[in-house]
Chains A and B, each alone.
Chain A
Amino acid sequence: MTNASTAPGVRIGDLTVVYKTQAGELPAVSGVSLELAPGSITGVVGESGSGKSTLALSLLNAVQSPGRISGGSVEIDGLGDVVGLRGESLRKARGRHIGYVFQAAQNSLNPLKTVGKQLLDLGRSHGVDDLRGLVREAKELLGRMGLDGARVLDSHQHELSGGMRQRVGIMLALVLNAHLVVLDEPTTALDMITQATILRIIREVHEERGLTTLVITHDIGVVAEVADRLAVMYGGRIVEQGPTGAVLGAPSHPYTKGLIKAIPRLVGSLDEARALPGRPPTLATVPTTGCVFRERCAERMDVCDSDDPPALAHGDRIVACHAVGTSEPAQLQEEVA
Chain B
Amino acid sequence: MITGQAITKTFKQRGNVLDSREVRALRGVDFVIPKGGAASFIGESGCGKTTLGRIIAGLESHDTGEITIDGTAMSSLRPRDRQPYFRRIQLIHQDPYSALNPTRTIHQTLNAPLALRAKQTGRSRGWMDERAQEVLSLVGLDAGSVLGRYPHQLSGGMRQRVVIARALTVDPEMLVADEAVSMIDVSLRLGILALLKDLRERLGVSVLFITHDVATARYIGDDGELYVIYRGQVVERGPVDTIISGPVHPYTQSLLSAIPVLHGLEEPGAQPVVPTEALDESHHDEGCLFARRCPFRTGKCESEVPVLGLGEGIPQEHACFHPERRAVVAQPAGR
A contact residues vs B (CB 8 Å cutoff): 47-48, 146, 162-163, 190-197, 199, 218-222, 224-225, 244-250, 258-260, 262-268, 270, 273-276, 279-280
Which one of B155, B190, B263 contacts A264 once the chains associate, using CB atoms below 8 Å? B190
11 cross-chain CB contacts under 8 A: A192-B212, A221-B262, A224-B260, A224-B264, A225-B263, A244-B264, A249-B265, A264-B190, A264-B193, A264-B215, A279-B158
The A-contacting residues of B in range 256-299, CB under 8 angstroms, are: 256-265, 274-275, 278-279
Residues of chain A with a CB closer than 8 A to B274's CB: 196
Contact A193 B254 (CB under 8 A): yes
Q: Are B331 and A249 closer than 8 Å at their CB atoms?
A: no
Whether, in the assembled complex, B218 has its beta carbon less than 8 Å from a beta carbon of chain A, the answer is yes
B333 at the A interface (CB under 8 A): yes
Complex Cα spacing A99 to B214, Å: 33
Interface assignment of B187: CB less than 8 Å from any CB of chain A: yes
Let me know if A245 and B332 touch, CB within 8 A: no
**Cβ-defined partner of B260 (8 Å) among A194, A221, A246, A280:** A221
Q: Does B186 lie within 8 Å of A220, measured CB to CB?
A: yes
| Complexed CA–CA distance, A280 and B184 (Å) | 11
Bound CA–CA A264/B259 (angstroms): 11
Partner of A263, one of B186, B244, B330: B186
Q: In whole angstroms, how far apart are the Cα atoms of A180 and B47 in the complex?
A: 37
B255 touches A275 (CB 8 A): no
Q: Are A199 and B191 in contact (CB-based, < 8 A)?
A: no
Judged by a CB distance under 8 angstroms, whether B30 is at the interface is no
Given A224-B262, A246-B264, A273-B219, answer yes or no on A193-B186 (Cβ-Cβ < 8 Å): no
A156 to chain B, nearest CB (A): 12
Question: Are A225 and B187 in touch, CB under 8 angstroms?
Answer: no
Interface contact B191-A275, CB-CB below 8 Å: yes
Contacts known (A193-B44, A264-B190, A266-B256); A280 close to B185, Cβ less than 8 A: yes
> Does B112 sit within 8 A of A, measured CB to CB?
no
Q: How far is the CA of A285 from the CA of B153 in the complex (A)?
A: 12
Q: Are B259 and A266 neighbours in the complex by a CB distance under 8 Å?
A: yes
Cross-chain contact A249 with B264 (CB below 8 angstroms): yes
Known contacts A191-B45, A191-B212, A275-B187, A199 near B260 by CB under 8 Å:
yes
Partner of A47 from B158, B187, B333 at Cβ < 8 Å: B187
Ordered nearest first, which 4 A-B pairs have the shortest CB separation? A221-B260, A249-B264, A245-B264, A248-B264
Asked if B332 and A193 make an inter-chain contact with CB atoms under 8 angstroms apart, the answer reads: no
The answer to whether the Cβ of B108 comes within 8 Å of any Cβ in the partner chain is no
Q: Is B213 an interface residue (CB 8 A)?
A: yes
Query: B264 near A225 (CB under 8 angstroms)?
Result: no
| A193 and B44 alpha carbons, distance in the complex (Å) | 7
Q: How far does the alpha carbon of A270 sit from the alpha carbon of B193 in the complex, in Å?
A: 11
Would you call B215 and A266 a contact (CB within 8 A)? Answer: yes
Whether A273 contacts B185 by the Cβ 8 Å rule is: no
Q: Nearest residue in A to B272 (C-beta to C-beta)? A: A196
Contact B278 A48 (CB under 8 A): no
Is B265 a contact of A248 with CB atoms below 8 Å? yes
Interface core residue of A248, A266, A268 (most chain B CB under 10 Å): A266
Question: Are B187 and A258 within 8 A (Cβ)?
Answer: yes
Complex CA gap A197/B257 in Å reads 11
Q: Are B260 and A222 in contact (CB under 8 A)?
A: yes
**Closest partner residue, chain A, to B274 (CB atom):** A196
Please tell me if the beta carbons of B187 and A192 are within 8 angstroms of each other in the complex. Answer: no
**Using Cβ atoms and an 8 Å threshold, which residues of chain A touch B216?**
264
Given the known A-B contacts A191-B212, A224-B264, are A264 and B218 also in contact in the complex, defined by CB atoms under 8 Å?
yes
Shortest distance in angstroms between A145's beta carbon and chain B's nearest beta carbon? 11
Q: Is the CB of A267 within 8 A of B332?
A: yes
B189 interface hit (Cβ, 8 Å): yes
Given A192-B212, A221-B262, A275-B191: A266 and B186 within 8 A (CB)? no
What A residues does B263 contact at CB under 8 A?
Answer: 224-225, 244-245, 248
Chain B residues whose C-beta falls within 8 Å of the C-beta of A195 in the assembled complex: 258, 260
A193 engages B265 (CB within 8 Å): no
Q: How distant is the Cα of A46 from the Cα of B279 in the complex, in angstroms?
A: 31
A48/B45 in contact, CB under 8 A:
no
CB–CB A280/B155 < 8 A: yes
Residues of A close to B213: CB separation below 8 A: 192, 264
What is the bound-complex CA distance between A193 and B191, given in angstroms? 26
Contacts of B45 in A (CB 8 A): 162, 190-191, 194
Residues from chain A with a CB closer than 8 A to the CB of B158 are 279
Taken together as a complex, chains A and B put the C-alpha atoms of A193 and B273 apart, in Å, by 11
